[in-house]
Structure 1
């Protein structure tokens, strides 16, 4: 394999490695958001359900605190509705799953890059065919995967520019 082919594969490996890590980190953050909205929603709904199971809460409370109890009940109901609505609309769980899938796809490409890098080819033509096929897969993948949030992409850019994303086969 010529040096320029090796350099190109090494660069593709670094880019793909960055994409893998960024997609996994995106999935992790989205999963955290899902839990941050979901757990309070469940707790609030459980509290409201408990109040409702005792019947009309205003009948069992002293006259002076009826207003505050009703106000708290209304606030909890509205908060719960907002949290459930946000969780449904923002769909963090499904988005996290898609980022994990994208990371897996990039991981498959990375292993293919590594395999090409260590394989002896009979001719440069055979190697170029493999590289063109790989480039086609990378092009399709870059068009079909989810967008990585800017803050995650930028955080990983520092490691990328320092060359930290590097397979051990490119030493």
Structure 2
């Protein structure tokens, strides 16, 4: 069905949208996804390496030192993906990397969320830095929070693919 929609949108300019309109939508989606990557990197950087490392440690059970190193790598990767997405450099490579990164985040967030539900702990992902909303305290809130993060990341993965139009 997704392919049918894309074919309709782009089929020789005879679809619902003209070729110029499709290019404009693609540009806006690319800028939006790139901005999300940049916001995530900025939020983590502002929260600090220690806070980002602690979020990584809770999600992965790595040692504090390794989690901090991975946290720094995540910040750098998000900043690079964001800058590359916004600039439009190597669109096929960047969109594919963005798609795969969002899918990986969905899987890790889902697994971490399920673990937090099972053991009653907090599994704040720190996706955009320090949490500004109350932590989920009930199992229902943990399920809702996990479902939202997974759905958001899957949605962003799919949007990353549409930037290839």
More helix by share: 1
- TM-score, shorter chain, exceeding 0.5: no
TM-score normalised to structure 1 length? 0.32
Bigger RCO (CA 8 Å, 6+ sep): 1
Compare CA radii of gyration and give the structure with the larger one.
Answer: 1
TM-score normalised to structure 2 length? 0.33
